[in-house]
Structures are given as C-alpha cells and as structure tokens.
Amino acid sequence: MFNLEEELKKLPAKPGVYLMHDASDEIIYVGKAISLKNRVRQYFQKSRNVTPKIQRMIDRIAWFEYIVTDSELEALVLECNLIKEYSPRYNTMLKDGKTYPFLKATVQEAYPRLLFARQMKRDGSRYFGPFTSGKAIRDTIELVNKLFHLRSCRRTLPRDIGKERPCLYHQIGQCPAPCQGGVPEEEYRKNFEKALKFLQGDTKEIIRELSEKMEEASASMQFEEAAGYRDLIHSVRQVTEKQKITAEDNEDRDIVALARGGDEAVVQVFFIRSGKLIGREHYYLLGVEEEENANVLAAFIKQMYSGTPYIPREIWTEEEVSDREAILAWLSAKRGKKVYFRVPKRGSKERLLELAKRNAYMVLTKDAEKLKADRERTIGAMEEIGRLLGLQGLSRVESYDISNINGFDTVGSMVVFEQGKAKKNDYRKFRIHSVSGPDDYGAMEEMLTRRFEHSRREGLSELDSFRKLPDIIFMDGGKGQVNVAEKVLLNLNITIPVCGMVKDDRHRTRGLYFQNQEIPIDTHGQGFRLITRIQDETHRFAIEYHKLIRSKNQVHSLLDDIPTIGAARRKALMRRFESLEHIKNASLEELRAVPGMNERSAREVLKALGSVGSDKKKQS
C-alpha cells in the first residue's frame, strides 16, 4: 500500500526524474527536478497555487516513483526519453515524431558517392541537411550525379574494378564507369569536389560551364544536345531559387515560432543551413492550455531535438525558454559544440521570426476546423461516451471478440483504442486451448483470464502492452459477454468498468449494455461512430486471424499427411503453386519439376489430392 506522507519523507534532495501514476498504473506525468524532495512535495502542499490542468493531474495521482541522477543535465535527458516512451497525458506533447533525412557524401571512399541517409553517423562521411523532404534529397542526388558524372552503384571500389560489366548509367553517358577503370581516381575526385561546392550553394561555375556547352552544341547544329544542357541549367536554377538567402554569416540555425489556440498549438520551424533557408516544417502540440509560452517552447525543443541527430549552432525564439541553461547544456553536449538561444528584438532577424510566426498562425487558422473535427471524432467521442456512462477520464479502450466455425479453430482478438484512435501495436491475438465446441463464453473467459493474469507477472517489461490496464472494456456482445468479463475481473480482484456493444437483428449497433441496463445512444453522434469503429475493427481483426489459422490447418491436413512430403517439399510446393487448387490441377511433369520432388512423391501428391494431373499426363 502506497503511503503518500511516508513516501514524501523519503524523497532525496538530489536531481532526478519523477513519474506520477494514476489508480490504473498509467504514467500520467513525467517531470525533472534539481531537488526531487522540494519539487515533488510542492504538488501535495495545501498552500500550492497551480493551474486547473495541474490540479486535475494531482487529483488523479495514486502513487509516484522517481529516478535519481547525478546532475540536472542527466535528469533532462532522462525526462526526454521517458516522455517519448510513455506519452503521458498531462505533459505537453508533440502530435507526431517526425525525423528528417540527410544527404550523405561518402568522402572517405576512393570513388565517393552521394546517398540518402536517415541518420547522421560518425563514419567519416560528410552530411548535408537535414531536409524536410525525402523527395528533395533524391531529386538533388539525381541532378548532381547527372551534372558531375558521379557513380550511384553500391560496388566497393577499387576492389571490384573489372568484376562486373558497367551499368545502364554508363551506357547512356551519365557515369564514366569507374567500376571498369574508366576514369582515374584523381579526376573523379575533382568532379566530386565540384559537386560538394555545388551542394554548398556555389552554382555560378556549373551554370557558366553548361551555358558554354549549350552554345557550342547549338553552333554545331546539335540542337537535341543543346536542349539537354538548357534543361540542366533550368534544374540548377530551380534548386538555387529554392534556397532563399536569409543571412550573410553562413550560420546554421533554426527559427522557432509559436501560434496558440485553446489546448492546441502550432510551432513553425524554419531550417537555415549555411545562411540559406532550405525548408520549413510545422508541428502540432497538445495540452498547452494554461501553460506559459516559455514552458511550451521548452517542451517542444526537448521533444524535437531528442529525435533528430543534427543540432544547429543557434535556435531563435520569440521569448526566453524555461529551463534555458539546462537545455542549452544538453543541446551543446549532443552537438559537440556550443549551442546558443537568440531572441531577436529588431531588424531583419525580428522580421524573419515574425514571418515564421505568421506562417504558424496561417497553419493554425487553416487547420483549425480540421483539428476540431479530428478532436471531435476521437477525444470528443470518448468524452461523449464517458458522459453517457457517467465515467470520467476515459482514454484507453480494450475490445474483445471470439471467432470460430461450429466450434473449430476458436480464436480471440483484442484491439486497443487510445484517445479515440486505434493503437495497432497493442493489438493481440489469442489461440483458445481450453474450450472445444461452440462455447463463446468459455473461450472469452480463457482469453480475458490470460490477458489480465499476464499484466500481473513479475518482471514484466516496460514495453509490454499487457502491463497497461484499460480505462474501460468493450465486449462485442450484450449481457452474457459482459457477465463473463466481470466474473474474470472479480476473480482477479481488478476493477475496470465493462460495457457491451449491443446489436439489433440486422447486426447493427443499437446501444450499450452497462451496469445491468441497456443504454440507448444517439446514432448521429461521434460517440456512436467511435463505438461502431471499435466494434467493426474488433470483428475484422478476429475474422482475419481465424482465416489465417484455418488456411494453415487446411494446408497441413492435405499435404502434411502424405508420407513422402516433408516440411521442405511442402514449402517448395506452396512456393511454386501458391495454392492447393493449383497443386491439384498440376501435371505429373510439373510436380516433378519442383525442387526436391521425385516421381514417387509427385504421384503420392496426385493420389492424395484426387488430382486430375494424371489425366493431363495421358492427354499430353
């Protein structure tokens, strides 16, 4: 039993991270502290002055735990990791976890290449980016390879020189075939150095060279070749135009601007690399209501830069960020060099930040209706169901169904919805073992018992989805199914509300069965639509699993019972013919052609399947 007063007395006056749990053991908040003793105790002081949001969180706390660290910096890093892992509902959260790709120049190779890379590694290569679009990188690589005649193959050179014939790019004149020794290493590297200058924004030389070649081809009446050079010049200028000059200092910086509306916000980030705007991206944040801008910006920066390998030298914001020194120390450690926060107040720098802020407001205004509709069909729908049932704080829903045909191959399914959205990583399938014949109630009892007993195992991994209990259970049926679930929970001494999704004679949802009564539901509301989605998804998942089991058993019963057909031959047959019907209609010669098959085994297959294959042989 968790004794709050006793546990508060045990808190150390050391830096660390604290995790707040609710009654269902869900982690609802993660925070860091310079002194755990002072910070955690503040939540439970009667004289405290907190926002309504924090008060709601405090009211749900059933117990807490903490992890001591050696420094505030270590606590910040751990806080970032835990927030990303658990997505606590009372932390300000990024709605997605975008990461951005890089253009990788393998300068350490004898014949370097330009490659698409998801991560920046310390492998001797040079990296450009990050880019906001993977397509932009691939288009740039294609253009640069064409301009500077660089190779795109994966061969290890010079080791593989002459081992294979040159590829298509050599045939069409785009690659000088270093794989055949067609270009000296020194000459190839000179072209590669020109490519690197081009990627850094120096395009004057390449445009001059292409213009000269275009004029020469035109003067020689080689108009098709001249048109090719013209198109390359156009492509180069397009790339140049996309890189709007924003500064003369050639610095790398991110410009971060915030726009707020209710409990949601949009953060617009401009990516400046070597003084050029290479792209922009916007991010949605949830849970910002009643939070100060400084806290929202700090939460965003910690989550954003914990997921990207590249940290710029400067980060511009419209106001100071909370936890400024700790965050800067963390970012500097990640980058390996000093990182600075800037708050521009005047001139072109302020105008650039204002431009980012206007973009953020445009996104927020443009997507306001979309965000509102999305919230209504997810979180709003859950709140509607909660009001209907008289329950508060519903987030995680688990729904169960049983599937079989006349009692054979009985399977069960568990689907999970959180905040009104399907969480497919937490779906689970159950093969029913203790029930024979058409006994859906017995099968359901076995499935629920196994699921909730699993949640009590000692040493359960933090990543195990069974560790997390639902706020409510939905059963794909009425009173009978609900009674089975409540019986299992009672036996295990677990308290979770159980609700049945009742169907009419046409197999359509008509209401909910809860606390021994059927509750009608507005069929035009978002709550009803969410219940229907949950019910359809539960049924679909169970049916698909049952079909899979049934097909496997069918293959086993017809092929594995043939004495001369072992696992290898059965696998070879299914790979060659894909289905039993195709095997049944195959000729003796076709079966003998399968790897591992001989005439005897082929005849055994034809005999066992009652195949027409032998008649085919006679006709042939």
CA distance 517 to 245: 68
Yes or no: say if 133 and 279 are a contact pair by the CB < 8 Å rule: yes
Other CB atoms within 10 A of residue 135 CB: 8
Residue linked to tokens 């679930």: 485
Q: What pLDDT, on the 0 to 100 scale, is given for residue 446? A: 92
CA distance 220 to 133: 40
CA distance 335 to 328: 10
CA distance 448 to 386: 23
Phi, psi dihedrals of residue 436, rounded to the nearest 5°: -120, 140
Token couple for 549: 């089991």
Other CB atoms within 10 A of residue 480 CB: 13
Comparing C-alpha atoms, which of 611, 620, 617 is closest to residue 581? 611
Yes or no: say if 521 and 511 are a contact pair by the CB < 8 Å rule: yes
The alpha carbon of 323 is separated from its chain's Cα centroid by a whole number of angstroms, namely: 28
DSSP state of 469: P
Ramachandran sector of residue 391 (left: φ over 0; alpha: ψ -120 to 50; beta: rest): beta
Q: What pLDDT, on the 0 to 100 scale, is given for residue 496? A: 93
Q: What pLDDT, on the 0 to 100 scale, is given for residue 417? A: 94
Beta-carbon contacts of residue 429 (< 8 Å; ≥ 6 apart): 411, 412, 413, 414, 541, 545
**DSSP-derived 3-state class of residue 504:** coil
Q: What pLDDT, on the 0 to 100 scale, is given for residue 245? A: 41
The alpha carbon of 439 is separated from its chain's Cα centroid by a whole number of angstroms, namely: 39
What are the 10-residue block averages of pLDDT along the chain, 620 residues in total?
84 91 89 92 82 86 87 83 83 66 88 86 78 72 86 88 85 87 90 84 78 88 84 69 50 89 84 74 83 92 80 92 92 91 86 84 74 81 91 90 72 90 89 79 91 82 74 88 93 92 76 88 88 88 77 60 82 78 84 89 83 44
Terminal CA-CA length for the chain? 81
Q: What pLDDT, on the 0 to 100 scale, is given for residue 246? A: 46
CA distance 37 to 22: 20
Q: What pLDDT, on the 0 to 100 scale, is given for residue 244? A: 43
Q: What pLDDT, on the 0 to 100 scale, is given for residue 397? A: 93
Q: What pLDDT, on the 0 to 100 scale, is given for residue 320? A: 92
Comparing C-alpha atoms, which of 65, 13, 16 is closest to residue 37? 13
Q: What pLDDT, on the 0 to 100 scale, is given for residue 502? A: 83
Sign of the C-alpha dihedral computed for residues 497, 54, 324 and 9 taken in this order? negative
**DSSP-derived 3-state class of residue 521:** coil
CA distance 322 to 293: 9
Half-sphere exposure of 381 (CA within 13 A, CB side): 25
Find the helix packing angle between 379-389 and 368-377, rounded to 10°: 40
